Structure 1
Amino acid sequence: MADFIDLTGKRVLVTAGTKGAGAATVQLFQHLGAQVLTTARSRPPHIPQASFVEADLTTEAGCKAVAMAARKHLGGIDILVHMLGGSTAPAGGFSALSDDVWDQEFSLNLYPAVRLDRQLVPEMIAQGGGVVIHVTSIQNVLPLPESTTAYAAAKAALSTYSKSLSKEVSPKGVRVVRVSPGWIATESSLHLAERLAKQAGTDLEGGKKIIMDSLGGIPIGRPAKPEEVANLIAFLASERAASITGAEYTIDGGTVPTV
């Protein structure tokens, strides 16, 4: 029986592919036969230089450099996966968020996708097809006011932008899909659980429960694994999902409590 998903020969760019769900996505795409280029501000030793471009995607120059590298090393892009995101905003609610913080959150969570799409999607249209996947967040519908208002707003903007882009380019052969994760069990999130556990005088499982409680609970009782997020992205990027565009797929263990 043929493999359910085959990405042999597909040219793929994955942003922020050096750790967490990004790294899991890079590894899975490579396993499925794709040629993968990834990017971050610095290259970890385990990632071959030939499949990596060092760039700061919060800058216009960094996005242009990555697009140029994709053309040079891959000859173009068939699949573009925007994994980049995160937050450094302080706690303290909306009044703690300065203009600089707002700028930082949008510079990390919205503008890189907009800039790279502007560079690469016209080339997808010219070649007759492609897939763009924007990784958003459940916080675009479930913000945490204590510390993630600006991040949630930026991800909501990314989701709206993605929907609009899909309406424009899907008739031209380019599918645009969103993946909206909840809590993912990455190394950094587990460090957070450990820190919270230490502050509360409990163990790691207790620290995880603190995070889950802050989200209102996760019905399956655990965060998503990076590999599970990668599985969803790979399916949506494949020909198995050829009629899917403009949609947003939540992977959060049931965290969002509404329809």
Structure 2
Amino acid sequence: MGYARYVAIGDSQTEGIGDPDGDGGWRGFADRLADRLAASTPGLHYANLAVRGKLARQVREEQLDAALTLRPDLVTVVAGMNDLIRPSFSAEAVVSELDGMFAELTAAGARVASLTFPDLTRLSPLLRPLRHRVLDLNAGIRTSAARHGVMLVETFGYSVITDPRLWSPDRLHASPLGHARLAAAFAEVLALPDSDNAWTKPLPGARRPTAVRTVAKEVRWLTSFAVPWLYRRLRRRSTGEHLTPKRPTLVPVNPPASEPA
């Protein structure tokens, strides 16, 4: 199936944080996916309405109507990570927001793709308390996706998805390699030409860190990322405050001659 209008909605992963575009902005899996779509469907137009720091409720309230106005035939919806790491997290509430988005988008005739979340405990032992949240959220996403015919990228079961090389140092945003793998995963679920399950394969050269290195990494992460994040939450500040989408209207996509990593 070819697509003429692709719209991406969500938070920082969809905006592309962690994947510099070389011009002072961010690329990300959605931009990479748009390039792959355009390679098989010349004339593709693409909009990216995502803004970092948004909760699932905010994505629905601030981005859904704008997406529907663009009359997309393909939409990716990725939201829930910012909810997941908050003390007030409710899997039921997040799934309700996602379900509402899935329902409205599919009712409007768009094909919708989303994903489940990886096992964050493999990224850090300090994230172990979040495992049951991930399991509950993923179960709800699967049920909602099946109800509305949403295509789903399953990330939870693949160990490569939590390889540190696929993540930025903050462990919340994918690295350029991680964004490339996510784009490949969406390409496979969309059955794009030349797509396959290579994105699920482990990276070569993985080494198990020593206990001393592990402790040092955890301390650096706490002081550099976790504590500043908690400080912002206490002040009720969001990284996406006063920001607007990087690509708010449908613009033609000219795919690169070759796909960089």
TM-score for both structures, normalised by structure 1? 0.52
Distance 1:122 1:88 in 2: 22
Residue 10 (structure 1) aligns with = 6
Q: What does the per-residue CA deviation read over 1:62-106, in whole Å, with 9 as the maximum and x for residues that have no partner?
A: 53112122223x2356222316526997xxxxxxxxxxx532xx3
Amino acid at match of 1:102: P
Out of 17, 20, 25, the residue aligned to residue 18 of structure 2 is 20
Amino acid at match of 2:108: Q
Amino acid at match of 2:71: G
Q: Is the 8 A contact 1:13 1:37 kept in 2?
A: yes
Residue 142 (structure 2) aligns with = 163
**1:69 equivalent in alignment to 2:66:** yes
Distance 2:99 2:106 in 1: 11
From the superposition, tell whether residues 185 and 77 of structure 1 become closer, same or farther in structure 2 (CA, over 3 Å). farther
From the superposition, tell whether residues 114 and 224 of structure 1 become closer, same or farther in structure 2 (CA, over 3 Å). farther
| SS of the residue 1:30 aligns to | helix
Residue 30 (structure 1) aligns with = 34
Amino acid at match of 1:19: I
Q: Is the 8 A contact 2:5 2:74 kept in 1?
A: no
What are the equivalent positions in structure 2 for 1:1-259 lying under 5 Å apart? 7-16=3-12, 17-20=15-18, 23-31=27-35, 32=38, 33-41=44-52, 56-58=53-55, 60-61=57-58, 63-72=60-69, 74-76=70-72, 78-82=74-78, 85=81, 102-103=87-88, 106=89, 112=94, 114-118=96-100, 120-128=101-109, 130-139=111-120, 146-170=125-149, 174-180=150-156, 181-183=161-163, 185=165, 188-189=168-169, 225-238=178-191, 251=200, 253=202
Distance 2:57 2:79 in 1: 17
User: Relative contact order (alpha carbons < 8 A, sep ≥ 6): 1 or 2 greater?
Assistant: 2
Distance 1:121 1:88 in 2: 19
| Aligned alpha-carbon RMSD (Å) | 4.1
| SS of the residue 2:50 aligns to | strand
Q: Is the 8 A contact 2:117 2:138 kept in 1?
A: yes
From the superposition, tell whether residues 57 and 148 of structure 1 become closer, same or farther in structure 2 (CA, over 3 Å). same
Q: Is the 8 A contact 2:118 2:155 kept in 1?
A: yes
Q: What does the per-residue CA deviation read over 1:3-33, in whole Å, with 9 as the maximum and x for residues that have no partner?
A: xx95443333343223137942122133233
Q: Is the 8 A contact 1:13 1:70 kept in 2?
A: yes
Distance 1:130 1:77 in 2: 6
Identity percentage over the alignment? 12
Amino acid at match of 2:76: L
Tell me how many residue pairs correspond in the alignment: 179
Distance 2:67 2:57 in 1: 16
| SS of the residue 1:64 aligns to | helix
Distance 1:143 1:110 in 2: 24
| SS of the residue 1:102 aligns to | coil
Residue 95 (structure 1) aligns with = none
Amino acid at match of 1:158: L
Q: Is the 8 A contact 1:224 1:251 kept in 2?
A: no
The unaligned stretches of length 5 or more in structure 1 are 42-55, 90-100, 193-222, 242-248
| SS of the residue 1:148 aligns to | helix
Cα deviation for residue 160 of structure 1 reads 0.5
Distance 2:163 2:2 in 1: 28
Cα deviation for residue 136 of structure 1 reads 0.6
Give structure 1 regions of 4+ aligned residues with deviation exceeding 6 angstroms: 86-89
Distance 2:34 2:135 in 1: 30
The unaligned stretches of length 5 or more in structure 2 are 20-25, 39-43, 207-261
Distance 2:151 2:18 in 1: 25
Cα deviation for residue 231 of structure 1 reads 1.2
